[in-house]
């Protein structure tokens, strides 16, 4: 196998005396869905926040490889917003973070800010109706349309994002992340609060993203029906440590994982 | 007519109305009841208890009318308020029409208030109640949510109308000097209102779009004014208005960026407090840096703007020609008039304000404008999308400050004199009030609010004693009925499907 999209080595994060993530190493491959699972408080979201620049790790290295250009990014050294704009890592949030008063379409256009900003000559040319900007805006709308189609939100394109039902808001957040043209998409509990039918649709969407857009997907999820069905690779965290790493079939039968989720058997204690 | 009326509880009604009258009594007994007047050689305390009594009675009966309206007795309200209005009309008309002493006594027998405007306000309130009772379809109390939705719909309608009304209003503004040009006083008010409209539009970019609550906006106004004043009066520089104007804007914008840097991490209330502090710092520096700004004495003798080198004085300085002389030579004979300059100043500030308006409307549809709005909605989400929050906030601060600086340099040239007195906190508060009152992000709302807050007090100068009272009342009313502002409605910057009301994206 070629070099992985993302390599995390010896990642440790301390908050004061609390060790939230303790020496975790893993890799995520391009064109694969990698799931990070674990009981509550295992440190999954903390790992995510590190990868996307919201926290700085105490120790460790996170190396992201752009396969197309061969460029390498050391995420732990980058400022938060540059991880999105230069390394092209996109994320969603556990508690949805849309721009509630803006419309669905505007949410997707804002996601293409950096491209549009360059096209508008950093606003100066755009103000005077520069043609190149109009073309770029039309292209941005086309991309937004594509993702609206994919997520079934075309009908609601001109409604305020806060007016969408919960499942729609989840899908919009994924669409918005995809509009930044990421090489890696990080999803923090995308199936939380979805009904079984919506979960099913989400699975299809994530598979589509992996297969058609050929990017890596990193996923935190509690819903095992989602995890086991679509993941290519699973990493299990417990108390900030990695306790297992493998394919869904391996994880399902891993005694350490069963122990972490179900507790120690009485007689072994 | 009273089919949906509920049975009345007279005791509760009297209690409610009595309580209202009592609150009015408490409010007016000090504010209205006593007046300290300057009589030759001393101060004398005068009382106006009839005014207080009248106010209490009006409040009492007004409240009863409101209760009746609420409980569904529309007929009674129509008759009662209608009769009151009619009586007032009979009492007030003679004075307004004839203005004789006898008529005034007659009117004052009706209403003790000394200012006719107040009496007419009472009349207007009675008419409003009667009309409202006659038109109300049902006396259902709207809950806050549906009221908010209705307000938003009203805002949306206004915004749709604004596409045509905006240019129309602009034309009206352009034509205004034709109607009022002879009246120097009116032109001064128009210039003042226009200045506040411009400041409101400028602050709207910072507060309305980017959501950065700035309580020290007047600091940039001051930087612009002083930049212009110093450049134009310092010996050896003495550049003209048209050279100094962009420089003043540039300096103010720079000040905005400089002040913006340390407060980038702050949001909401904390940002408001720090910007308030900055506003005061700028004023205190201007006041105390005597060698540079001439301290509290201010800078006087700031030259007036010229039109292509034509002066607006009666006697032009050496080597220049006065406008009226030039006009008489090239077109037709005009006499010198001081209002020419006022008209010219009005057009300058109108042009500047329209530039701000144009920028704000365009920028909303630019990536930077959308990023401002997104930043207002959720900063963390912005970062996750690769938007640089530092730059985005600083541009908002800088652009807003730059427009404030333009307005400031206009202020300096139109007054001919600047001093720290003009840049106190209350100015920031008024500009912010204009933005909040108009509705965040609404351009037309700012115009309306500036007319209300600046224009009305000027028009009602004769009742200046009650100005702050009316100001407070208006603010309370807005908070009760339109907490989001007069014309609060957000129009999407881009649409996929044309909306119902026949607008293409």
CA A159/CA A157 separation, integer angstroms: 6
Which element (helix H / strand E) includes A188?
Answer: strand A184-188
| B57 occurs within a structural domain | yes
Residue B45: pLDDT over 70: yes
Phi, psi (deg, nearest 5) at residue B143: -80, 165
Q: Identify the pLDDT of residue A243.
A: 84
CA quadruple A117, A121, A127, A131: dihedral sign? negative
DSSP secondary structure code for residue A193 in this structure:
T
User: H helices then E strands: how many in chain A?
Assistant: 11, 10
**Rounded CA Rg of chain B:** 26
**pLDDT of B404 higher than 90:** yes
Average pLDDT over every residue of B340-348:
83
Instruction: Nearest by CB to A81, from B362, B389, B496: name it.
Output: B389
- Say which CATH number the domain at B413 has: 1.10.3470
Please judge whether B492 and A105 are an interchain contact, meaning their C-beta atoms are less than 8 angstroms apart. yes
The residue written with tokens 């949410």 in the block is: A107
C-alpha A129: how far from chain center: 36
Report CB contact under 8 Å: B384, A123.
no
Q: Do residue B240 and residue B294 come from a single domain?
A: yes
End-to-end CA, chain A: 41
Q: Which of A153, A152, A113 is nearest to A136 (CA)?
A: A113
Quick check: A61 and A10 in contact, CB under 8 A? Answer: yes
How far is residue B421's CA from residue B295's CA, in Å, rounded to a whole number? Answer: 10
Residues of A with CB under 8 A from a CB of B: 52-54, 80-86, 90-91, 93, 97-103, 105-106, 109-111, 113-114, 116-117, 120, 122-123, 126-127, 137, 141, 145, 148, 154, 157-158, 176-177, 180
Query: Inter-chain contact B370–A110, Cβ cutoff 8 Å?
Result: yes
Residue A111: its chain B contacts at CB < 8 A?
Answer: 385
The DSSP 8-state label assigned to residue B299 in this structure reads E
pLDDT at B502 over 50: no
Weakest mean pLDDT among A134-138, B136-140, B414-418, B455-459: B136-140
Largest CA distance in chain B: 84
**B189: Cα separation from own chain's centroid:** 12
**Structural domains counted in chain B:** 2
Contact B385 A148 (CB under 8 A): no
Q: What is the pLDDT of residues B15-30, one digit of tens each?
A: 888 898 899 888 888 8
The whole-angstrom distance between A252's CA and the closest CA on chain B is: 33
Which of B370, B381, B492 lies closest to A158 in CB terms? B492
Residues B74/B138, Cβ–Cβ less than 8 Å: no
**Chain B residue numbers touching A105 (CB-CB < 8 A):** 492, 494-496
Angle between helices B101-110 and B116-135 (to 10 degrees): 50
- Long-range CB pairs of B238-242, under 8 A, 24+ apart, other chains included: B238/B303, B240/B303, B240/B305, B240/B306, B241/B303, B241/B304, B241/B305, B241/B306, B241/B409, B241/B413, B242/B305
Q: Which of the two residues, B335 and A81, has the higher pLDDT score?
A: A81
Let me know whether B90 and B189 are in one domain. no
Q: Do B442 and B299 fall into the same domain? A: yes
Q: Quick one: how far is CA B40 from the chain centroid?
A: 37
Q: Residue B210 has what pLDDT?
A: 87
Which residues from B are below 8 Å from A99, CB to CB?
373-374, 377-378, 381
CA B208 from centre of chain: 15
Q: What are the b/e assignments for B435-471, b being 16+ CB within 10 Å? A: bbbbbbbbbbbbbbbbbbbbbebbebeebeebeeeeb
Whether residues B49 and B198 share a domain: the answer is: no
- Chain-wide mean pLDDT for chain B? 80
B189 shares a domain with B116? no
Q: What CA–CA distances, in Å, run from B37 to A165, B26, B306, B468?
A: 64, 22, 44, 18
pLDDT given at position B148: 67
Place of tokens 């349309």: A145
CA–CA min distance B76, chain A (Å): 43
User: Residue B496: which of A97, A101, A145 has the nearest Cβ?
Assistant: A145
- Give residues with Cβ within 8 angstroms of B22, minimum separation 6: none
Domain that holds residue B399: 176-306+349-481
Top-confidence residue, A102 or B4: A102
Distance from CA of B365 to the nearest CA of A (A): 9
Rounded CA separation B67/B59 (Å): 12
- Residue B280 inside a domain? The answer is yes
Instruction: Specify the 3-state DSSP secondary structure of A51.
Output: helix
Question: What DSSP letter does each residue of B435-456 carry, written as one string?
Answer: HHHH-TT-HHHHHHHHIIIIIH
Q: Is the pLDDT score of B335 beyond 90? A: no
- If asked whether residues B190 and B297 sit together in one domain, one would say yes
Q: Cβ neighbours of residue A68 under 8 Å, at least 6 residues apart?
A: none
Residue B211 to chain A, least CA–CA distance (Å): 13
Residue B466 falls within a domain, yes or no? yes
Average confidence (pLDDT) over B187-194:
86
Rounded distance, CA B357 to CA B403, Å?
10
pLDDT of residue B196: 92
Can you give the pLDDT at residue B199?
92
Minimal Cα distance from A145: which residue of B?
B496
User: Picking from A115-129, B96-110, B129-143, B337-351, which range would have the lowest pLDDT averaged per residue?
Assistant: B129-143
Interface A:B, Cβ pairs < 8 A = 119
Does B378 lie at the interface with A, CB-CB under 8 angstroms? yes
Q: Which residue intervals of chain A bear CATH 3.40.50.300?
A: 1-88+183-269
Whether residue B433 sits in one domain with residue B380: yes
CA distance A86 to A64: 11
In a domain, B47, yes or no: yes
> Is B163 part of any domain?
no
The backbone torsions φ and ψ at residue B160, rounded to the nearest 5 degrees and listed phi first, read: -70, -40
Regarding whether B185 and B233 lie in a shared domain, the answer is yes
| Interface TM-score (ipTM) > 0.90 | no
DSSP structural state of residue A264: -
Q: Count of residues for chain A?
A: 269
Judging by beta carbons within 10 Å of its beta carbon (0-12, 13-18, 19+), is residue B44 exposed, middle or buried? exposed
Q: Which two tokens stand for residue B363?
A: 């920028």
Q: CA B373 from chain center: how many Å?
A: 24
Does pLDDT of B166 surpass 90? no
Q: Which residues of chain A have pLDDT under 70?
A: 1, 264-269
B464 pLDDT more than 70 = no
Position B339 pLDDT exceeds 70 = yes
Any residues with CB less than 8 A from the CB of B223 and at least 6 apart, and which?
A: B248, B251, B252, B255, B282, B401, B404, B405, B408
Q: What is the pLDDT of residue B78?
A: 81
Q: Looking at the structure, do residues B50 and B105 belong to the same domain, yes or no?
A: yes
Distance from CA of B66 to the nearest CA of A (A): 36
pLDDT digits (tens, 9 = 90+) for A118-177: 777 777 777 777 777 888 888 888 888 898 888 888 888 888 888 888 888 988 999 999
Q: Where are the alpha helices (DSSP H) in chain A?
A: 44-51, 80-85, 104-110, 113-119, 124-127, 131-151, 166-179, 196-213, 224-230, 248-252, 255-262
Determine, yes or no, domain membership for B160.
no
Residue B2, pLDDT score: 44
Across the interface, of B362, B385, B388, the residue whose CB is closest to A110 is B385
Indicate the pLDDT class of residue B198, thresholds 50, 70 and 90: very high
d(CA B16, CA B342): 52
Q: What is the pLDDT of residue B223?
A: 92
On whether residue B357 sits in a domain, the answer given is yes
DSSP class of residue B316 equals P
Q: Residue A90 and residue B385: Cβ atoms within 8 Å?
A: yes
Q: Residue B314: its pLDDT value, please? A: 66
The architecture in CATH of the region A1-88+183-269 reads 3-Layer(aba) Sandwich (3.40)
Are residues B228 and B361 located together in one domain of the fold?
A: yes
Q: Greater confidence, B145 or B198?
A: B198
The pLDDT score that the predictor gives to residue B54 is 84
Query: In the prediction, which pLDDT does B175 show?
Result: 76
Mutating which of B264, B379, B380, B385 best tests the A interface, going by the most A Cβ atoms within 10 A? B385
Q: Does B371 touch chain A (CB under 8 A)?
A: yes
Tell me how far apart the alpha carbons of residues A70 and A63 are, in angstroms, rounded to a whole number. 12
Residue B234 domain-assigned (yes or no): yes
B373: closest CA among A21, A102, A148, A59? A102
- Alpha-carbon distance B342 to B344, whole Å? 5
**Nearest chain B residue to A182, by CA:** B385
Better-predicted residue by pLDDT, B326 or B360: B360
The reply to whether B379 and B279 lie within a common domain is: yes
CA A170/CA A26 separation, integer angstroms: 27
What are residue A244's phi and psi, to 5 degrees?
-160, 160
Given this model, what pLDDT does residue B499 score? 58
Residue B402 binned pLDDT confidence (cut-offs 50, 70, 90): very high
Q: For residue A102, give the chain B residue with the closest CA.
A: B492
CA-based nearest distance A201→chain B, Å: 24
Q: What is the pLDDT of residues B55-89, one digit of tens each?
A: 888 888 888 888 887 777 777 888 888 888 888 78
Q: B371 vs A113: CB contact, 8 Å cut-off?
A: yes
Whether B497 has its CB under 8 Å from any CB of chain A: the answer is yes
Task: Say yes or no: B46 and B123 in one domain.
Answer: yes
Higher pLDDT, A85 or B118: A85
For A127, the closest of B362, B387, B499 (CB atoms) is: B362
Looking at beta carbons, which residues of chain B come within 8 Å of A113?
A: 367, 370-371, 374, 385-387
């Amino acid at each position: 196998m070629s070099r992985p999209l993302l390599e995390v080595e010896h990642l440790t994060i301390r908050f004061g005396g609390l060790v939230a993530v303790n020496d975790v190493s893993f890799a995520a491959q391009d064109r694969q869905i990698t799931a990070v699972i674990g009981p509550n408080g295992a440190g999954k979201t903390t790992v995510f926040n590190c990868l996307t620049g919201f926290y700085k790790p105490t120790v460790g290295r996170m190396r992201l490889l752009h396969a197309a250009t061969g460029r390498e990014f050391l995420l732990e050294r980058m400022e938060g917003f540059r991880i999105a704009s230069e390394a092209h890592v996109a994320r969603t949030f556990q508690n949805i973070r849309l721009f509630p008063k803006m419309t669905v379409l505007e949410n997707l256009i804002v996601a293409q800010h950096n491209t549009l900003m360059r096209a508008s000559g950093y606003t100066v040319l755009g103000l005077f109706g520069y043609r190149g900007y109009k073309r770029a805006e039309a292209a941005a709308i086309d991309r937004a349309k594509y993702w609206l189609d994919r997520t079934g939100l075309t009908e609601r394109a001109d409604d305020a994002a806060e007016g969408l039902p919960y499942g729609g808001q989840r899908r919009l957040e994924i669409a918005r992340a995809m509009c930044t043209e990421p090489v890696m998409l990080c999803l923090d509990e995308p199936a939380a609060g979805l009904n079984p039918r919506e979960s099913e649709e989400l699975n299809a969407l994530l598979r589509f993203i992996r297969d058609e857009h050929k990017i890596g997907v990193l996923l935190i999820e509690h819903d095992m029906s989602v995890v086991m069905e679509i993941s290519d690779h699973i990493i299990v965290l417990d108390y900030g440590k990695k306790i297992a790493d493998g394919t869904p079939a391996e994880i399902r039968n891993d005694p350490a994982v069963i122990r972490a989720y179900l507790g120690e058997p009485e007689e072994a204690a | 007519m009273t089919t949906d009326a509920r049975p009345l509880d007279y005791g509760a009604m009297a209690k409610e109305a009595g309580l209202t009258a009592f609150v009015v009594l408490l409010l007016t007994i000090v504010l209205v009841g006593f007046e300290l007047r300057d009589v030759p050689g001393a101060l004398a305390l005068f009382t106006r208890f009839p005014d207080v009594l009248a106010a209490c009675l009006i409040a009492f009966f007004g409240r009863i009318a409101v209760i009746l309206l609420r409980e569904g007795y529309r007929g009674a309200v129509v008759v009662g308020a209608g009769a009151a209005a009619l009586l007032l009309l009979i009492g007030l008309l003679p004075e307004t029409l004839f203005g004789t002493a006898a008529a005034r006594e007659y009117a004052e027998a009706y209403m003790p208030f000394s200012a006719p405007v107040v009496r007419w306000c009472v009349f207007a309130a009675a008419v409003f109640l009667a009309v409202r009772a006659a038109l109300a379809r049902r006396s259902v109390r709207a809950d806050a949510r549906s009221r908010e939705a209705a307000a938003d719909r009203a805002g949306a309608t206004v915004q749709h109308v604004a596409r045509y009304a905006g240019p129309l209003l602009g034309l009206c503004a352009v034509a205004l000097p034709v109607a009022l040009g002879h009246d120097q006083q009116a032109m001064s008010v128009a210039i003042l209102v226009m200045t506040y409209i411009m400041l409101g539009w400028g602050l709207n970019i910072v507060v309305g779009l980017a959501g950065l609550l700035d309580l020290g906006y007047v600091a940039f106004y001051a930087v612009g004014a002083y930049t212009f004043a110093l450049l134009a009066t310092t010996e050896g520089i003495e550049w003209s208005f048209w050279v100094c104007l962009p420089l003043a804007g540039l300096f103010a914008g720079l000040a905005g960026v400089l002040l913006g840097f340390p407060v980038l991490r702050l949001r909401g209330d904390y940002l408001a407090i720090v910007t308030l502090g900055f506003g005061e710092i700028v004023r205190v520096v201007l006041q105390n840096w005597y060698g540079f700004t001439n301290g509290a004495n201010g800078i006087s003798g700031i030259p007036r703007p010229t039109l292509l080198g034509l002066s607006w004085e009666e006697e032009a300085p050496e080597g220049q020609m006065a406008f009226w002389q030039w006009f008489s030579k090239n077109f037709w004979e005009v006499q010198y008039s001081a209002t020419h300059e006022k008209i010219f100043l009005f057009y300058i500030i109108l042009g500047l304000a329209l530039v701000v308006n144009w920028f704000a409307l365009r920028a909303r549809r630019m990536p930077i404008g959308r990023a401002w709005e997104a930043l207002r909605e959720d900063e963390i989400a912005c970062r996750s999308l690769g938007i640089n929050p530092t730059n985005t906030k600083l541009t908002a601060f800088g652009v807003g400050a730059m427009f404030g600086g333009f307005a400031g340099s206009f202020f300096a040239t139109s007054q001919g004199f600047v001093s720290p007195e003009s840049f106190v906190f209350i100015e920031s508060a008024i500009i912010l009030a204009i933005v909040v009152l108009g509705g965040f992000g609404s351009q037309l709302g700012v115009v309306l609010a500036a007319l209300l807050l600046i224009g009305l007090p000027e028009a009602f100068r004769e009742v200046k004693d009650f100005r702050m009272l009316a100001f407070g009342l208006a603010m309370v009313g807005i908070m009760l009925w339109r907490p989001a502002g007069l014309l609060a409605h957000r129009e999407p910057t881009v649409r996929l499907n044309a909306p119902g009301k026949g607008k293409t994206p």
